[in-house]
A = this chain, B = another copy of it.
Amino acid sequence: MPDVKHFDPEAVLDSAEELFWRRGVTSTGVRDIVSATGVNRSSLYATFGGKRELYVAALRRYADRRSGPVFRRLAEDDRGLPAIADFFRALIRARCSGEHARWGCLVTNAHAGPEQDDPDIRSVLQDHHDRLRAAMCAALERARATGGLRPDIVPATSADVLALLAYGVNLRSRAGASPEALDETVTAVLASLATRPEEIR
C-alpha cells in the first residue's frame, strides 16, 4: 500500500476559498496557497491538478457551503417577506462588517472577472443564480399564500428583481457602501411587494 496524504484537502480548499475570495483569482498565486497552508507545491498539484481546478473547487465549495445553507433556509422559511428581509439584513451585515467585510461575494466577483469565460465556472455561476432565484421565489410564494403579497406581484419575476438586488448589494459593499443605506434600499423594494409595507421589519 502506498503512502497516505500528510494533509487535509478540505482544509486546503478552505484556505484557497478564503484567499480567492479576499484577494481575487488573479492576485492569488499558488505560492500564496502554499504558504497559507504549509502544503507543498507538488502535493497541491498532485491532489487538485492546478490553479484552475483549485479555484473551481473553491468556488463550488463557496456555493455549496456558504450560499447553499442560506438559500435553503430562505426557501424553507414559512414567513414569506420577513424571511426575505432577514436574508438581506444578514447579507448586508456580512458584507459590510465582521471578518469578511468588503470582500463581496466570491460568486458575484467571479461574474466581473475574466474567469467567467471558463465553462465550468460559468455553470457554477448559473447554478448559483438559479438557486438564489428559486429560494426567493419560494419565499415569495409563501408570502402570497398568507396574503402578504400585493395582488399584481408575480413571484417569479420579483424573485429575479431580488436576485439582481442581492448582486448589487454584494458589489457596492465592496466599494464601501454604508449598511444603513443598503438596508434602506432593500426595505424600499420589499415595501413595494408587501400588502402591508409596515409589517416587513
Contacts and interface: CB of A to CB of B under 8 A. Distances in A.
A33 B3 CA distance: 50
Contacts of A91: none
A104 B114 contact: no
A35 to B, nearest CB: 18
Interface residues on A, range: 35 or more
Interface string A149-166: 000101001101101110
Most buried by B among A108, A109, A188, A197: A188
B172 A168 contact: no
Do most interface residues of chain A lie in helix, strand or loop, or is the interface mixed?
helix
5 contacts: A109-B112, A160-B185, A161-B185, A161-B188, A168-B168
Q: Which are the 7 A-B pairs with shortest beta-carbon distances?
A: A164-B168, A112-B112, A26-B26, A192-B192, A160-B185, A109-B112, A24-B114
B114 A172 contact: no
A41 interface: no
Most buried by B among A24, A116, A171, A191: A171
A175 B113 contact: no
A188 B169 CA distance: 19
A52 to B, nearest CB: 14
Contact of A171 (B112, B161, B185): B112
Interface of A: 23-24, 26-27, 104, 108-109, 111-114, 116, 122, 125-126, 129, 152, 154, 157-158, 160-161, 163-165, 167-169, 171-172, 174-176, 181, 184-185, 188-189, 191-193, 197
A52 B176 CA distance: 21
Given A160-B185, A192-B192, A108 B112 contact: yes
A129 to B, nearest CB: 7
A167 B172 contact: yes
A125 B168 contact: no
